[in-house]
A and B are shown apart, each in its own frame.
Chain A
Amino acid sequence: MGVLLNRIIKGCVIAVSLALLIPWFLIPSYWTFKTAFSRPEDAWTWIPSSFTLQNFASLAAPTLEDYFKGHGMRAAIPIPISQAIRNSFIVSLTSSLISVTIGFLAGYALTRFQYRFKNFMQGFIVFSYTFPVFIIVIPLLMIYRTLGLYNTLLGLAIAHLAYTVPVSTLMIRSYMVSVPKELEEAAMVDGATRIQALIRVILPVSLPAIVTAFTFAFTLSWGDLLFSIILISSPELYTVPIVVQFFLWGGEIVDPGGLAALAVFIGIIPVISYGILQRYVIQGLMRGALRYG
């Protein structure tokens, strides 16, 4: 009797919690999704009357009608949105590739070699991981102006290393702890140099960690707004976070459909990659980012 009662109570608690939890994360996302797939006249209704992909098409190839949206304010967006997406891709790809490459070397070395300042170095990486970037962005702007990195995609990608390098290094390092030393030692006994052993033996077995680190790095760079709006000034180099601001005019959303489609497109990339790598993401987060030393 008691057992049955317990099960009923437990079931009720689960049902109530789910009833609270699911609307909490679904309602705020619903409007964006719905608007992305509906016609302009349905932008502010619960259920759209018809389904359309025109909003997504308008990101790559806007029609004349698209330009006139928001009383013509959509036409005030200085570059094609596809170009902004391309710029963002270039920046995030560059930044995450650099960070995974150097993070792999450092992550490996920190688990294999003895350094005099090892604790200090690891502490410094975690420090960089937690450091709020708004403090460095203004001086970085001044430094970039003298170095000629201001208003370049490469400069922006380098600035994003502030996010991408700590996370890649910490994640790969935490994974390397579990890769047995004997693996590369056996290869080195067979005459391979350390670098050869690293590439042929360690790299393949660390692939899950590398892919997860890459996903994290890419997503962090992909989601940055602050560096973009401060370090880029020419319209042809605008990234998505800069272009997004042109969709709001006097507190009103210019072309809700187009904006929603853009938000879905930008958001879906990290969502899908995290979804696929969910297990590794949680493991990596727990081992690499929440614990060190």
Chain B
Amino acid sequence: MSMRAESSYHYLYVLPVILTLFFIIIIPIAYNIWLSFYEKRVGEEPVFAYLNNYIRLLSSPITMVSLINTFIYAFTSVALKLLIGLGAALLLNTKFRGRSFVRVLSIFPWAVPSYIAAVMFWFNFARDGAFNKVLSLAGIGPIHWLGYDHAMTSVIILNIWHGWPFFMMGLLAGLQAVPQELYEASEIDGARAHQRFFYITLPLLKPVMLTVVLLSLIWTMGEFAQIYLTTAGGPIDRTLTIPVAAYRLAFTGEANISLAAAYSVLMLPLYLLLIFVTLRYMRA
């Protein structure tokens, strides 16, 4: 077999993966863009509508509201997941009795499917549920967790509970890669614990920390199941994030698929930007 024939036949190995992903990711994105320029009225064939859908979206409050909600939701959630994840990773990096047990246990929330975590929180957010039972021990009256005032906090709590072990695992692996000699040397030089943390641990942990934060940011901004199953974007638009808004436009009210397509296309650059930053970063 000649060199050339051998190498073109090598493409057969990767072709199934590339074609599959092309078919379920790239073609739908392209088709979405095409759809977004059409308008469909009830009982009529879709007609080319230039930028009508976009103009409508830009003058609609849903665009700004969903964008702001997504930022509040994702940034708060990611920041707190990082904080808890870092704390847990530092804890599990020290030796104590029962450490491996705690380590196995702490992966548990992350291993549970996202929509099951939401179902579990139905039991926590309920009027007689776990959270109000705990609060009543402290004499605090029942909170309406999914009501207007607390809905955003509640979906953020759910997201943090489900997602922090991902940070813990990433950061723990990062901690274990820090050479022990560095700590020993600094100890001889008389560095204190907090100095070791800020001058050795944190700088060396930075690459893995950034990767985990970026990935989690993309996924949290794309989270659908947890919000859909708890508040469905409500009450009113209190927890309406981008994925839930896209669903709402497409399947509820006037069920306007083209408008939903235009909405997704409008939000696409935001996600693409984040993904490309992440990709560049992961490669470095």
Mark A residues whose CB is within 8 Å of B. Answer: 10, 14, 17-18, 21-22, 24-25, 27-32, 35, 44, 46, 102-103, 105-106, 108-110, 113-115, 121, 123-128, 130-140, 142-143, 158-159, 161-162, 165-166, 169, 219, 222-226, 230, 241, 244-245, 247-248, 251, 253, 256, 259-260, 262-263, 266-267, 270-271, 274-275, 278, 281-282, 285-286, 290-293
Expressed in whole angstroms, the minimum distance between the Cβ of A238 and any Cβ of chain B is 14
Q: Assess the B14–A267 pair: CB atoms within 8 A.
A: no
* Binding stretch for chain A, among B54-62, B108-116, B198-206: B108-116
Interfacial chain B residues near A135, Cβ < 8 Å: 28-29, 32, 246, 264, 267-268, 271
Interfacial chain B residues near A256, Cβ < 8 Å: 123
Q: Assess the B126–A143 pair: CB atoms within 8 A.
A: no
Q: Assess the B115–A44 pair: CB atoms within 8 A.
A: no
Q: Assess the B219–A113 pair: CB atoms within 8 A.
A: no
- A256–B119 Cα distance when bound, in Å, is 10
Q: Assess the A127–B279 pair: CB atoms within 8 A.
A: yes
Interfacial chain A residues near B21, Cβ < 8 Å: 124-125, 128, 161-162, 165-166
Q: Assess the A278–B104 pair: CB atoms within 8 A.
A: yes
Q: Quick one: which of A24, A134, A143, A282 contacts B247, CB cutoff 8 A?
A: A134
Q: With A14-B96, A31-B124, A139-B261 known to touch, is A25 a contact of B225 (CB < 8 Å)?
A: no
Q: Assess the B124–A162 pair: CB atoms within 8 A.
A: no
Q: Assess the A133–B222 pair: CB atoms within 8 A.
A: yes
- A78–B173 Cα distance when bound, in Å, is 46
Interface string of B147-191 (1 = CB under 8 A from A): 000000000000001000000011011000000000000000000
B196 proximal to A (CB < 8 A): no
Main secondary structure of the interface of A (DSSP, over half): helix
Interfacial chain A residues near B112, Cβ < 8 Å: 267, 270-271
Interfacial chain A residues near B20, Cβ < 8 Å: 102, 161, 165
Interfacial chain A residues near B279, Cβ < 8 Å: 123, 126-127, 130
Interfacial chain A residues near B130, Cβ < 8 Å: 27-28, 30-31
- A35–B122 Cα distance when bound, in Å, is 12
Q: Assess the B113–A253 pair: CB atoms within 8 A.
A: no
Q: Quick one: which of B24, B104, B123 contacts A275, CB cutoff 8 A?
A: B104
Interfacial chain A residues near B172, Cβ < 8 Å: 282
| CB closest residue in chain A, given B127 | A44
Interfacial chain A residues near B102, Cβ < 8 Å: 18, 21-22
Expressed in whole angstroms, the minimum distance between the Cβ of A56 and any Cβ of chain B is 15
